[in-house]
Chain A
């Protein structure tokens, strides 16, 4: 193609959420020329939705906190399926990443001493989340967006143009990661505005595309969460690890419909919000698992005292890890004690005054009042589980964020797997994307030093271009909107929060069926800003994600974190040693088992051995960690 728009960079970052921007900053500061590609406008990424905060053991509010405590909490939350090295790096480096944001102009809420304030959150032993009211994600995005501008201004003084070394390409969809001779050579995509195609040649590509929520019917994710990076990586020959683990946030709005799926931040529970069923019963006391009995109050009096005296009381069970709360709500609803819309009540109005609620949870109040006419200072919210976060993702080397098996490919943030094990703690995603966004930027910089740019062949360009053109060459084929809706029904009903073998088998067959039909999608209208055309590509990605998830889920015969099997309701310590690795041969996704790296002795020794006995086999305990 002679008139194809071409660019050449050292590294291309796909995704401009927290992880992508942090990676871009790091790569630029290491001297690389960097392109940032995003499907939306600059600064609109899903990171803005994160409300609660970023977990980092700065110890500003309780100086007993340190990285070891954070590490332990993260491993417990993930039911010890986390890649230990990722959890370790994350716990150790988060405080520096938060302080760094402050150096770039972020304005976090303060303690009385003027330090960064930290709040309590589910699964975290101490107040640990740096926050800005309930709009912490927006503060992160804006700070890094402005950091990008600052770097561009600096380049403007050194070079002729502010955008010569660091440029944002907004509203551009990547359809392909191109490899030549087994290595990354660039990416191919199209401008959403015009449909015109673009080639970026680059020896390193960082995937930071976030999540997969749109694969499901009820989700807190925006249209962007279509698993693009998961699918791009699979197609480029990378692996997806543990795709069965999806976090259903326990408290999404189920009613009214204009806010369906939207999250009610865990801070509402952290600030004293209480969950009740339609009988008015505060039901969470019934659902405290044995492993948490010593940390959570089993009666209302103690739970209520905790809000004022945290040293001498156990925490309220509303603050159990997310999977426990989600499962409890699901059980209540199934037992007929839920609302007609399939939810339960979450009420903060009885404990706090209207003034305090508006001060501590301003966006929450504002959002529900304006979007749905619900006044949370006066009435309870109707909440239930909504698909929120995928723990599974691209298999990476922890220190460099390099995708296993594909030289030149990196992944960070939600799209990467391993860090959170089977369940992510709230607050650990914002710190995850800072820690591993930076490491991906460093990893790419290191790789580029030793790698030569590989020219993209004409054959690769033609193949990528043909694929984009295909839906326009068909007419009267399948409608991508309807196929998407069908896929969402399947995943919601058969691969959702509670799973069984027979339903998963049915889901795998049905997903394959839709995939066959999706090969015949046709698109009405032209290429210019055409959502039907855009969805045709997103659909392809979501189908690969759904297939990976269903196939991993049917293989894992136990219940753990974000994977609950009705037919295998127990945690099984043998399964803790197993990761599922999904790969793609161009036709089907296959899933194999791989041994999880063992906890090294120095990390093993951070735990009470009796606690580890709940998660590990006697043989593992006897070994006492890897040496």
Chain B
């Protein structure tokens, strides 16, 4: 049942570091986080790794496993070949703090830049009425566990630190889409703001974010593309542009 697993673990900090080879026992049914914990308890007491629920619900144990952004708690050891070495490295898009732990504060700063939900002014508690089918569109995006794997894989910022200032990233495009599709939100122009202030236009829909999402949120198809299409509609359709100016129908875009 138990077998010897060969691993290479990146150890180091912001200044320097490298891969270290270890051999560790792995049992049937275990995930990569289980064996990392075993390494921690038996060989490297000070190995830094972020984790929390160990159930794929909190999005803490994001790292790169054999080069792919993944949750370590959702990656079964058995999904790799018996002789395969499993290499774990920290997320590449964010600065390393120590070992497998990176500084993801970029994401929390971006979160603070997205305008919040604005309920209708006169709606009393308990009076809201929404159809299930209408809330489901936003609910898909609210499944997000903020693991930031989509941010890590997004090539706009993965190797381009300079783009971070003007690009919020897929996690925050779905946040904007969620509010934009929220049946009761009253703030106008969320899509334009996504385009003009949060870098929606820099995304060229390669769908890498959708591929790595552990919650299977269709980030590109259901959030980014619909927003892009409608922003384009308004920008390049002179009649609709005129309409928004004359009748102030901002709400429809």
> Contact mask B33-59 → A, CB, 8 Å, 1/0?
010000011000111111111111111
- Residue interface bits B85-129, CB-to-A below 8 A is 1, else 0: 000000000000111010010001001101111010001011011
- Cα-based distance from A288 to B213 in the complex (angstroms): 44
Q: Are A258 and B30 in contact (CB under 8 A)?
A: yes
Q: What are the residues of chain A within 8 A of B142 when measuring CB–CB?
A: 107, 132, 138-139, 142
**A528 interface residue, CB < 8 Å from B?**
yes
A-B contacts, 8 listed (Cβ < 8 Å): A41-B60, A102-B126, A193-B101, A222-B54, A257-B29, A258-B31, A371-B76, A528-B48
Question: Do B41 and A481 touch across chains, with their CB atoms under 8 A apart?
Answer: yes
Q: Is residue A110 contacting chain B, with contact meaning CB distance below 8 A? A: yes
Tell me the bound Cα distance from A139 to B57 in angstroms: 12
Report if B131 contacts A (CB, 8 A). Answer: yes
Q: Among the interface residues B45, B111, B112, B119, which one has the most CB atoms of the partner chain A within 10 A?
A: B45
Q: Establish whether residues B28 and A479, one from each chain, have CB atoms under 8 Å apart when the complex forms.
A: no
Q: Which of B29, B57, B60 contacts A49 (CB 8 A)?
A: B57
Q: Does B145 belong to the interface (CB within 8 Å)? A: yes
Q: How far is the CA of A529 from the CA of B76 in the complex (A)?
A: 26
Q: Is B27 an interface residue (CB 8 A)?
A: yes
Instruction: Specify which of A222, A370, A481 is in contact with B52 (CB 8 Å cutoff).
Output: A222
Contact in complex: A103, B29 (CB < 8 Å): no
- In the complex, besides A107-B139, A258-B34, A372-B29, 19 extra interface pairs with C-beta distance below 8 angstroms are A40-B50, A41-B50, A48-B58, A95-B126, A103-B123, A107-B130, A114-B131, A139-B142, A222-B54, A255-B29, A259-B29, A366-B216, A371-B55, A481-B41, A524-B45, A525-B46, A529-B97, A529-B101, A531-B40
- Other-chain contact of A149, B41, B48, B97, B111 (Cβ < 8 Å): B111
B interface residue count range (under 10 / 10 to 19 / 20 to 34 / 35 or more): 35 or more
Partner of B115, one of A142, A153, A258: A153
Residues 43-86 (chain B) with a chain A CB within 8 angstroms: 45-60, 73-74, 76
A43 shortest CB reach to chain B, Å: 6
Any B CB within 8 A of the CB of A113: yes
CB-defined contacts of B119 to chain A, threshold 8 Å? 103-105
Query: Do B55 and A367 have beta carbons less than 8 Å apart?
Result: yes
Total contacting residues, chain A, CB less than 8 A = 67
Q: Mark B175-205, 1 if CB is under 8 A from A, else 0.
A: 0000100100100000000000000000000
9 nearest A-B pairs in the assembled complex, by CB-CB distance? A525-B46, A256-B29, A105-B117, A114-B129, A99-B125, A150-B116, A529-B48, A532-B45, A529-B98
Q: Within the assembled complex, what's the spacing in Å between the Cα atoms of A102 and B182?
A: 11
Interface presence of B211 (CB below 8 A): no
Chain A positions 500-538 with a Cβ under 8 Å from a chain B Cβ: 523-526, 528-533
**Chain A 28-72: CB-based contact to B (< 8 A → 1; otherwise 0):** 000000000000111110101100000000100000000000000
- Residue pair A150, B132 in contact (C-beta under 8 Å): no
Q: Which residue of A lies closest to B216 (CB)?
A: A366
Chain A positions within 8 Å of B104 at CB level: 41
In the docked arrangement, what's the CA distance between A49 and B27, Å?
Answer: 25
Task: List A contacts of B125 (CB < 8 A).
Answer: 96, 99-100, 102-103
With known contacts A105-B182, A113-B129, A257-B30, A532–B46 Cβ distance under 8 A: yes
CB of B143 closer than 8 Å to a CB of A: yes
- Interface presence of A577 (CB below 8 A): no
- Dominant SS among interface residues on chain B: loop
B58–A222 CB distance below 8 A: yes
A107 to B136, CA, bound (A): 9
* Cβ of A493 under 8 Å from chain B: no
Does any Cβ of B come within 8 Å of A363's Cβ?
Answer: yes
Q: Decide: B55 and A257 in contact? CB cutoff 8 A.
A: no
* A363 lies within 8 A of B131 (CB): no
**Cross-chain contact A371 with B132 (CB below 8 angstroms):** no
Closest partner residue, chain B, to A220 (CB atom): B55
Check: A223 CB closer than 8 A to any chain B CB.
yes
Known: A96-B125, A107-B139, A528-B13. A257 touches B28 (CB 8 A): yes
- B98 partner residues in chain A, CB cutoff 8 A: 193, 528-529
Contact B128 A530 (CB under 8 A): no
A109 touches B27 (CB 8 A): no
Closest residue of chain A to B78 (Cβ to Cβ) is A373
**A-contact bits for B210-229, CB 8 A (1 contact / 0 none):** 00001010000000000000
Report if B153 contacts A (CB, 8 A).
no
Q: Is there contact, CB below 8 Å, between A153 and B52?
A: no
Q: Does residue A115 face the partner (Cβ distance < 8 Å to B)?
A: yes
| Complex CA distance for A132 and B179, rounded to whole angstroms | 17
Instruction: Give the shortest distance, in Å, between A527 (CB) and chain B (any CB).
Output: 10
A290 to B: closest C-beta gap in Å: 37
Task: Give every chain A residue within 8 A of B242 (Cβ-Cβ).
Answer: none
The answer for the CA separation of A312 and B144 in the assembled complex, in Å, is 41
Q: Given A46-B53, A109-B132, does the pair A371, B73 have CB atoms closer than 8 Å? A: yes
Inter-chain CA distance A306–B157, complex, in Å, is 54
A42 to B74, CA, bound (A): 21
> Which chain A residue lies CB-closest to B77?
A258
The residue of chain B having its C-beta at the shortest distance from the C-beta of A533 within the complex is B46
